[in-house]
């Protein structure tokens, strides 16, 4: 995941990887948990995370 270290510097953002080594369309490799005091703050953080990440297939 590109920019993963930067994403993990955002307070309340946590990654949970499932240990899979290959990618394919619609295959779930992990997920993020985003915590904040309000729903609006969660949505804002989620949008920031989405804009920062990309997955490169192998």
Per-residue pLDDT of 7-56, as tens digits, reads 999 999 999 999 998 888 888 989 999 999 999 999 999 999 999 987 66
Q: Confirm whether 57 is domain-assigned.
A: no
| Model confidence, pTM | 0.74
State the residue range of the domain holding 16.
Answer: 4-52
Q: Confirm whether 58 is domain-assigned.
A: no
The total domain count for the chain is 1
Q: Confirm whether 9 is domain-assigned.
A: yes
Cα gap 12→4, rounded to integer Å: 14
* Alpha carbon 19 to chain centroid, angstroms: 15
pLDDT score, position 58: 60
């Amino acid at each position: 995941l590109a920019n993963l270290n930067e994403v993990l510097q955002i307070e309340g953002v946590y990654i949970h990887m499932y240990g899979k080594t290959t990618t394919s369309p619609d295959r779930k490799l992990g997920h993020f948990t985003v915590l904040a005091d309000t729903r609006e703050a969660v949505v804002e953080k989620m949008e920031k995370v989405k804009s920062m990440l990309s997955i490169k297939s192998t």
